């Protein structure tokens, strides 16, 4: 440390609950924690980061020139409690002065879990059914049992529908964890569209097809993905390359009984087009953990008003276990960066 | 037929939608269908069943002495579009005069699907999260990202929680179909409590444990089932033997972070005790497709008022595919019974 024998200062922009005690018990760092249960105030952060060797930030905390100038030359590490790093100006941090760590794998399982949940909820009319019970309407006499009341398309295969095709826009870790969970539902075919810049991996695909005893696992173009998927999962990065890939033209190609699930980034979907698709029954239903423009989603949002749209407020990784793992990993990254030790999840800077 | 050359009459108490055309096109039966989109009126049924050779009923249509007397001696088959047959006086139908068919296997997959959905929803605070978005509250400033907002226990295993135990009260077809779906979530242990009158099947259990690479699969007593399950699935028949097996004493033994899922019969659970358990945090959450006293469930029901209780209105088998399979099977049973042909799903009468 440039401050000689003094303990390095680390600034933590959020009390990370059960992940905090191991950090707070350390004698070798001077820890400053934003004390309130809301996002860290910018003025507080700019004041407290002066001379810090490390800072632990969250999505709302922008890491830009202003923050780096306030920190000064002691700063060695920026660690964020997130997979995304849109809030960090990575080139500015640079390779020499500062280093930044993130992580990703840690939330794969939690997001795959909620992806399955949303596929089931969107197919099974669950939003409507749940709301009806909560409103005390289960007792209404017009709800007598009828063979097709509340029916939706079945995720699993059945006597009369012995094949099911799942589609993935993006086929990374979370997509593959989702596919593994779908296998016991009797899924028979898997198709996916990968990034145009990525190479097909036929050996990997053949191995997955054999492992899961699928009738087919194929990389396809986006047109075929739209046309053939019974359930379509969006698990692709955000950004310009995927902006509104799911638009009106895409949705018009989908099957009328298909279900769309988005647990990646809201910007992949044109919300107005999806609302139209649901209203005009181009597709059966949608399950969304992310929506373009979130969290500024009011009751007037066209998707909030669609009964066949199940939306939850970006809680894909929101389990105690995963958030504890995320926080612990962020703290490990922070301490590793401050002392030049092991950094479990370092962000690879663009070349 | 006792009516000589005349076509046998069959009475259908509900228009079964897409399953009907193959029945209606038959030239060899005289078909009478209740014409309205609500439960069949008793007076209509008693009038129309006169002289019928077969009748297709639903849960609300009681098959008792009154109905059999109205039908007369021609009646050969009672076919119900349900797995349960509480509405049928089976001994009264008898082995000689009439025969009754039901079926069960056909809805296994649809119910296993919704069982997984409810386990995920109850764990992931989904009722609260879904309602918040539908109420337009996602945009509220106090919902800024915080590490543990909306968190619940994770169904799948994770870095910090590498073991998960699922429990089953009842371990029949639907329980085993549910277990198969849970395996890719990384479940490590399975325990179950079988009917006290059933014999342990150690060979079957060992085979399942090996097939799924579980660290344990064991039949246990109900006390251990309550104490060790992270997620507990109720998939047992209803009736006196299982009435309120899940009561206050049982719920007090459960883990504070555990989730209870009931997709079998409402009578297995003491609703007041469960509401207390949720309110006082003896357990984390509950997902229910069935509730004692349903469908007379108003907004004043103690479980409807619990935010950690996710309830849907007995829609376990409500998919187009399964309901079509159910209706088709019921019609096949009906026609088989009328003509003395194949009967795919005959009810085994008590000895």
Tokens for B340, please give them.
Answer: 């003395």
Residues of A in contact with B38 (CB under 8 A): 142, 144, 146
Quote the minimal CA–CA distance from B181 to chain A in Å: 5
Residues of A in contact with B132 (CB under 8 A): 313
Query: Distance between CA B184 and CA B175 in Å, rounded?
Result: 16
The answer to whether the Cβ–Cβ distance between A149 and B110 falls below 8 Å is: no
Pairing of strands A99-101, A77-80: parallel
Give the residues across from B262 on adjacent strands. Answer: B234, B288
Give the residues across from B346 on adjacent strands. Answer: B101
Mark whether A294 is an active-site residue: yes
Quote the minimal CA–CA distance from B9 to chain A in Å: 22
CATH no. of A107-311: 3.40.50.720
- Same CATH fold assignment for domains A9-102+321-339 and A107-311: yes
Give the active site residue among A181, A252, A314, A346. Answer: A314
The answer to whether the Cβ–Cβ distance between B136 and A59 falls below 8 Å is: no
Query: Distance between CA A167 and CA A226 in Å, rounded?
Result: 8
| Sequential pLDDT tens for chain B (351 residues) | 344 458 999 999 999 988 999 999 999 999 999 999 888 999 999 999 999 999 999 988 999 999 999 999 999 999 998 877 888 888 888 766 666 666 668 899 999 999 999 999 999 988 889 999 999 998 886 666 677 889 999 999 998 899 999 999 999 999 999 999 999 999 999 999 999 888 999 999 999 999 999 999 999 999 999 999 999 999 998 889 999 999 999 999 999 999 999 999 999 999 999 999 999 999 999 999 999 999 999 999 999 999 999 999 999 999 999 999 999 999 999 999 899 888 777 776 654
Residue ranges per domain, chain B? 9-102+321-339, 107-311
The answer to whether the Cβ–Cβ distance between A297 and B181 falls below 8 Å is: no
Residues of B in contact with A136 (CB under 8 A): 297-301, 304
Residue B9, H or E segment: strand B9-12
- Cβ-proximal residues to A42 (8 Å cutoff; 6+ apart), any chain: none
ipTM for the predicted complex: 0.90
Supply φ then ψ for residue B184, to 5 degrees.
Answer: -70, -10
CATH no. of B9-102+321-339: 3.40.50.720
Q: Determine which of A182, A318, A322 to mutate to test the interface with B (most B C-beta atoms within 10 Å).
A: A318
* Cα distance from N-terminal residue to C-terminal residue, chain A: 28
Mark whether B42 is an active-site residue: no
Number of CB atoms found within 10 A of residue A85's CB: 17
Q: Is A1 in a helix, a strand, or coil? A: coil
């Amino acid at each position: 440390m440039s401050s000689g024998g003094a303990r390095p200062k680390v600034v933590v922009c959020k009390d990370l609950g059960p992940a905090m005690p191991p950090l707070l018990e350390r004698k070798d760092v001077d820890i400053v924690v934003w004390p309130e249960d809301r996002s860290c105030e910018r003025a507080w952060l700019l004041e407290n980061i002066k001379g810090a060797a490390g800072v632990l930030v969250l999505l709302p905390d922008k890491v830009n020139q202003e923050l780096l100038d306030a920190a000064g030359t002691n700063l060695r590490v920026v660690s964020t409690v997130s997979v995304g790093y849109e809030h960090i100006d990575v080139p500015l941090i640079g390779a020499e002065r500062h280093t930044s760590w993130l992580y990703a794998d840690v939330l794969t399982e939690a997001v795959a879990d909620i992806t399955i949940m949303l596929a089931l909820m969107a197919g099974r009319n669950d939003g409507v059914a749940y709301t009806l019970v909560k409103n005390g309407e289960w007792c209404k006499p017009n709800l007598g049992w009828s063979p097709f009341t509340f029916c939706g398309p079945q995720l699993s295969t059945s006597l009369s529908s012995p094949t099911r095709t799942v589609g993935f826009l993006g086929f990374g870790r979370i997509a593959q964890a989702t596919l593994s969970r779908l296998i016991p539902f009797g899924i028979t075919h898997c198709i996916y569209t990968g990034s145009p810049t990525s190479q097909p991996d036929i050996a990997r695909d053949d191995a997955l097809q054999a492992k899961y005893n699928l009738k087919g696992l194929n990389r396809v173009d986006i047109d075929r993905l739209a046309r053939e998927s019974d359930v379509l999962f969006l698990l692709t990065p955000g950004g310009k390359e995927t902006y509104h890939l799911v638009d009106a033209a895409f949705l018009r190609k989908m099957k009328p009984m298909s279900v769309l699930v988005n647990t990646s980034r809201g910007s992949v979907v044109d919300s107005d087009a999806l609302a139209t698709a649901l209203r005009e029954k181009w597709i059966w239903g949608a399950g969304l953990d992310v929506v373009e423009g979130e969290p500024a989603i009011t009751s007037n949002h066209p998707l909030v008003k669609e009964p066949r749209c199940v939306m939850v407020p970006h809680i894909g990784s929101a389990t105690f276990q995963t958030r504890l793992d995320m926080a612990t990993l962020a703290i490990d990254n922070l301490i590793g960066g401050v002392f030049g030790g092991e950094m479990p999840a370092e962000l690879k800077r663009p070349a």
